[in-house]
Homo-oligomer: A and B are copies of this chain.
Amino acid sequence: MKSYAILGTGALGGFYGARLHLAGREVHFLARSDYEAIRFGGLTVDSGGRRDRLNVPVYRCATDLPRCDVAVIALKATQNAALPDILPPAIKPDGVALVLQNGMGGEDLAASILGPDRILGGLCFLCANRVAPGHVAHLDYGEITMGEYRPDGSAGGLTPRLHEIAEDFRAGGISIKEIENLAAGRWRKLVWNVPYNGLSVAFETTTDRIMAAPAMRALAEELMREVAALSAARGYAIEEAFIRKMLDDTMRMKPYRTSMMIDHAEGRPMEIEAIYGEPLRAVEQSTELAPRMWLLYRALRALEAGRG
């Protein structure tokens, strides 16, 4: 049975780590600001009307972690500068890293530390908040699309180790979709993240108000098409029906504060590079294919710099 190190015990790491723990897996948590709360009060997870208070092994320093089979990178992408220090000590010599982050760049960085053959990634469709130190509220969703990383973005295929990890998450009640090509999956997820995260921050608004203002809604749709154009330039076609579905789903959603909006409101750095900078730099002719996304990227960087 695989052991898991959760690197970063925020809402995402806390939620998935707790599910693995509840499924009986060996799970070790690396926590920074929430270390004391978890060490002395346990990890608390509210989900589906139920509250679990879990007594879990928690560590402040990565060097104190026992080496695990799987290191789950659950930090925000903005904290990735810590990876070279915390990733190697958390992982067995034949262990793998599972990058559960928004946007792009996380797997590349992990691969530069561990080598390209030991990296998997996942796209989390999770709505959860850290409501207090050591206390996570799971609001909705939770599915992960998971795949093998390949440095050239080719299909890593459906490997036994991918399936084993997926099964561990499934044992914790998490729906997992195993995909052949992780890079293609990351591009698809950007179709939603690029318009709604950035526009919600740039115009201090919510998804429903973006969809209600015709010019803003049209801009969101154009941004989706730009992501699709960038994705196509990388060899991953995104079909029109997927864009329509993202728009329709968003129309039906309750007014939603995006993760970037929450980060910005709470004074945390935003995942601007992971969601905008990395994808734009990944395509040579991106200024011609995605001029609106470039403007949004620059406007967000300016917003962030102005606050700092």
Q: Which residues of A come within 8 Å of B, CB atoms?
A: 199, 202-203, 205, 213, 215-216, 218-219, 222, 226, 229, 287-292, 294-296, 298-299, 301-303, 305
Contact = CB atoms under 8 A, between A and B. Distances in A.
Contacts of A287: 203, 205, 216
Contacts of A199: 291
Contact of A298 (B216, B292, B302): B302
Contact of A301 (B289, B294, B302): B302
A203 B216 CA distance: 22
Nearest to A199: B291
| Copies of chain A in the complex | 2
Contacts of A296: 295
A296 B213 CA distance: 19
A219 B291 contact: yes
Nearest to A203: B287
B299 A203 contact: no
Given A299-B302, A302-B299, A302-B305, A294 B202 contact: yes
Contacts of A216: 287-288, 291
Given A203-B287, A215-B290, A292-B295, 6 more contacts: A202-B291, A202-B294, A219-B292, A294-B299, A298-B299, A301-B302
B295 A299 contact: yes
Contacts of A288: 213, 215-216
Contacts of A202: 291, 294-295, 298
Nearest to A213: B288
Contacts of A298: 202, 295, 298-299, 302-303
A203 to B, nearest CB: 5
Contacts of A295: 202, 292, 295-296, 298-299
A291 B217 CA distance: 10
Contacts of A303: 298
Contact of A292 (B213, B292, B305): B292
A221 to B, nearest CB: 11
Contacts of A301: 302
Contacts of A219: 222, 291-292
Nearest to A305: B302
Contacts of A291: 199, 202-203, 213, 215-216, 219
The 6 A-B residue pairs with the shortest CB-CB distance, nearest first, are A302-B302, A298-B299, A295-B295, A213-B288, A295-B299, A216-B291
Contact of A294 (B203, B213, B305): B203
A52 to B, nearest CB: 43
Nearest to A299: B298
A295 B290 CA distance: 14
Nearest to A295: B295
17 contacts: A202-B291, A202-B294, A203-B291, A213-B288, A215-B226, A215-B289, A216-B288, A216-B291, A219-B222, A292-B295, A295-B298, A295-B299, A298-B298, A298-B299, A299-B299, A299-B302, A302-B305
